[in-house]
Amino acid sequence: MIFFEFLQKKTSYMIKKIIMNTNNKRPLSPHITVHKWILSQIMSILHRATAIGFSLSTILISLWLVSISLGPEYYSIFALFFFNFLGKIFLVLILFCFYFYFLDEIRKTFWGIGIGLDIKIIKFSSYVVFSLTLLIVLLLIIYFL
């Protein structure tokens, strides 16, 4: 019985707190639109997005290998999609996802052993990761064109 009285007091307190917060114009929790975008936030979001892109690209690589094993008619369907202009743009995006994720994971491996945790080094390494990713992708585009 005592527990139910405590629960009733606790829930009424929580309801009052929710009502007080709804009259306030501020959001209940910080949101991405409230804060100024910072470099580490952008790198974190980009890291997650490239991880998703890289995961989806492994499915396409598997489909490519399956189309090769099934014969020339299936491979021609696959080649029809990937050997045109949009397919090449898609392949460049796959390259960007791979190299950004790879280089960012190297940076996070150093963080895991305690190297490079200073704010200035984090900012510098963020610029290095992004710049090296763009450089490698551009060099591969130039090499294969």
Digit-coded pLDDT (tens) for 49-108 = 999 999 999 999 999 999 999 999 999 998 998 888 998 999 999 999 999 999 999 999
Mean pLDDT, the chain, whole residue set: 85
Query: Is 26 among the domain residues?
Result: no
Query: Is 24 among the domain residues?
Result: no
What are the angstrom distances between the C-alpha of 125 and each of 36, 122, 128, 136?
21, 5, 5, 16
Residue 136 tokens read as 């490698």
Query: Is 67 among the domain residues?
Result: no
pLDDT over 80 (residue 29): no
Q: pLDDT band for position 9 (50/70/90)? A: low
Q: Can you give the residue range of the structural domain that contains 95?
A: 40-55+84-144
CATH of the domain at 117: 1.20.1300.10
Query: Is 89 among the domain residues?
Result: yes
Query: Is 10 among the domain residues?
Result: no
Query: Is 71 among the domain residues?
Result: no
Q: How many domains does the chain have?
A: 1
Q: Between these two residues, 1 and 97, which has the higher pLDDT value?
A: 97
Query: Is 35 among the domain residues?
Result: no
pLDDT at 65: 94
- Tell me if 59 sits within 8 A of 113, measured CB to CB: no
